[in-house]
Structure 1
């Protein structure tokens, strides 16, 4: 059974697609390599098919994966490939309205797993958030752009018993933990996992030998003067909102432009391969940058040409939002390594819901939920504010 047949079964009969829409959707979902060949005529006819194809692209993702829409009647059938998912996301993106505001606000939230705290005979679990990031990209060069990190740590007890034990312990907000053993962690990790045990510690007091603080101080808010305020990829090349708005809308030209923006020396310092660097730039373009609909569509089509991107099926992010998970598995990303990038797409909007990674088969770090939108509301600024002096 093909994807369009699944779509017809998942949608109510009264709202079924017309023959023209079915034909357009079939061309989208079963397109061969010519459909994504930059500049190819056949590919351009598919990409510019209009709102009817957009509806089919989004509805097909919902129907096949049963996410955010009608009941899933096709779970026993062959799911869409990662390439088909990315192409459908491109079509969905292309059909969405273009909006603007005073700021592009991207929120990157850390939702960690609970950690264990021990203090004498008292033992309980806490979930601590210490490194939330909020990015406010000003549309006008007359406004400042802001990168706000840190903030006051927040603590949540997973159960009433944990909450009661935390209160009996004096509700501490500063903790220490043992330094990681050299053999516990791979080269990409800075410490053991969240199952390690913490101890309460007085605020302002240095950690004892062999221990380190588990909570960090509030970081100052960094602001950017001038238009170049968006960082794309690990090379952290700065571009402006105007630059993003003018990015190419064809995958091959977009790739060439992003390659021109990349700093090979910076990529090498971060240990990222050129393929990984391109993935990083496209990821940040889809999350941190206010890319217009056609540029977002080109970014998804560019991702569809990447080697070794596979689907994970239905996934939930730490906030409970459900989408379609994708993972980068091709060894060309990291020769000899197993570090893999993952992300979750909302099939209804083609927004990126969360990003994450996987360090080894069967073992992965938690997803980091993200959200981004235009807003006219200025950020609430911290007491400490410093300029971002990075060139």
Structure 2
């Protein structure tokens, strides 16, 4: 915000209206100013979340607005800052402008490394964390993945104390699900290979070629995506609003999929036109990185043994200076269904993008 104030031209101090195109161009210029460069990884940092991670999240739960992944009642590292002067539209348009400046890289594989976690209140009275990490290499003809299970374990020290008071049960259950086994430490890596072509999800199964054929104009992109909107969530038969459905699908284009910089910018601009999307200001993701969160509320499904549905706020964390996504998380608004027993404000699930981009390096 200090950068924006310093960059504000004199004419913006007046009370009269400013042409929106002038406003957004100046915001984009301010956000594009140089800052300390992050440490570069062995592969170029661009986007995405692993397919294995997405599959794990879908298996665990389904959310009408947008499904996601983790952490307990957010410490300072997971809470939102005070509302900023910028609207969600401003932030998304700035991100779109900067996304278009990204080079159109290429390679044999689309590489992604990420981590995710989800919280559940057990029937035994404490909260557990289910998590994992994955690496995926998606090529035109073959896909490879490596993933590790990081749970289930007590979510916090307080939950560990409650678990120990309960006799440190080896098996626990939650929300009518089957019993699961507690475990300390990560599992051994599991590797696999697939030759499927329809490996991305846009409310339907699509191929890499389908992604590359998407239009970049925001209205054309919206119309193309809505061809498959039926009033239901992308991962379940639960009802979904049009805004919520588009948010969920566009989130994939922004965070998880190998689309061109122009299409990614179009997805940002499409989201900027959705009236239900709001700005939450600055947040810190699970990896300690600072970004700006935009959000939409969605209703989660009920679960066996609990007919009450929950309400979650789905947050997409972006670095608008680079036009890149850092991750996503769902915060409990009203506990119910899969969020049963969690306090409002709890980061129920979160996914963090660690590294991604095109590479010619094959998995070892």
- Specify if TM > 0.5: yes
Q: 1:17 to 1:222 in 2, by over 3 A?
A: farther
Distance 2:179 2:198 in 1: 40
Report deviation, 1:59.
4.6
Report deviation, 1:301.
0.6
Which structure exhibits the higher relative contact order, with contacts defined as CA atoms closer than 8 Å and separated by 6 or more residues? 2
Listed as ranges, the gaps of 5+ residues in structure 1 are 20-24, 32-45, 47-51, 63-67, 69-74, 116-126, 163-168, 181-188, 192-209, 381-391
Distance 1:281 1:357 in 2: 16
Q: 1:366 to 1:269 in 2, by over 3 A?
A: closer
Contact conserved, 2:298 with 2:311, CA < 8 A, in 1? no
Of structures 1 and 2, the larger Rg is shown by: 1
Q: Which of 7, 10, 19 is equivalent to 2:6?
A: 10
Distance 2:97 2:229 in 1: 27
Report deviation, 1:211.
5.5
Contact conserved, 1:57 with 1:91, CA < 8 A, in 2? no
Q: Could you say which residue in structure 2 is the equivalent of 1:341?
A: 314
Greater helix percent: which structure?
1
Report deviation, 1:91.
0.6
Q: 1:225 to 1:312 in 2, by over 3 A?
A: same
Contact conserved, 2:233 with 2:245, CA < 8 A, in 1? no
Report deviation, 1:363.
1.8
Report deviation, 1:55.
3.5
Contact conserved, 2:145 with 2:193, CA < 8 A, in 1? yes
Distance 1:154 1:179 in 2: 11
Report deviation, 1:102.
1.6
Contact conserved, 2:148 with 2:189, CA < 8 A, in 1? yes
Aligned with 2:170: secondary structure? strand
Q: Which of 342, 358, 361 is equivalent to 1:374?
A: 358
So what's the TM-score if we normalise by structure 1? 0.58
Aligned with 2:279: secondary structure? strand
Deviations 1:3-47 (A, max 9, x none): 8xx646436xxxx9999xxxxx9744746xxxxxxxxxxxxxx7x
Q: Which of 118, 143, 146 is equivalent to 1:145?
A: 143
Contact conserved, 2:117 with 2:131, CA < 8 A, in 1? no
Aligned with 2:227: secondary structure? helix
Contact conserved, 1:90 with 1:301, CA < 8 A, in 2? yes
Report deviation, 1:342.
0.9
Distance 1:377 1:156 in 2: 37
Contact conserved, 1:54 with 1:95, CA < 8 A, in 2? no
Report deviation, 1:252.
1.3
Contact conserved, 1:90 with 1:298, CA < 8 A, in 2? yes
Deviations 1:132-191 (A, max 9, x none): 2333221x33xx1135444576989999xx9xxxxxx9xxxx9724323xxxxxxxx678
Contact conserved, 1:147 with 1:223, CA < 8 A, in 2? yes
Q: Could you say which residue in structure 2 is the equivalent of 1:213?
A: 181
Distance 2:155 2:5 in 1: 44
Distance 1:153 1:78 in 2: 36
Distance 2:5 2:86 in 1: 15
Deviations 1:222-255 (A, max 9, x none): 54325433223xx3x2222222122101111111
Contact conserved, 2:293 with 2:316, CA < 8 A, in 1? yes
So what's the TM-score if we normalise by structure 2? 0.61
Report deviation, 1:320.
0.3
Q: Could you say which residue in structure 2 is the equivalent of 1:363?
A: 345
Contact conserved, 2:100 with 2:265, CA < 8 A, in 1? yes
Q: 1:320 to 1:56 in 2, by over 3 A?
A: same
Q: 1:264 to 1:298 in 2, by over 3 A?
A: same
Aligned with 1:363: secondary structure? coil
Aligned with 2:211: secondary structure? helix
Q: Which of 244, 248, 253 is equivalent to 2:215?
A: 248
Report deviation, 1:105.
1.8
Contact conserved, 1:282 with 1:303, CA < 8 A, in 2? yes
Distance 2:362 2:152 in 1: 23
Q: 1:190 to 1:378 in 2, by over 3 A?
A: farther
Q: Could you say which residue in structure 2 is the equivalent of 1:185?
A: none
Q: Could you say which residue in structure 1 is the equivalent of 2:201?
A: 231
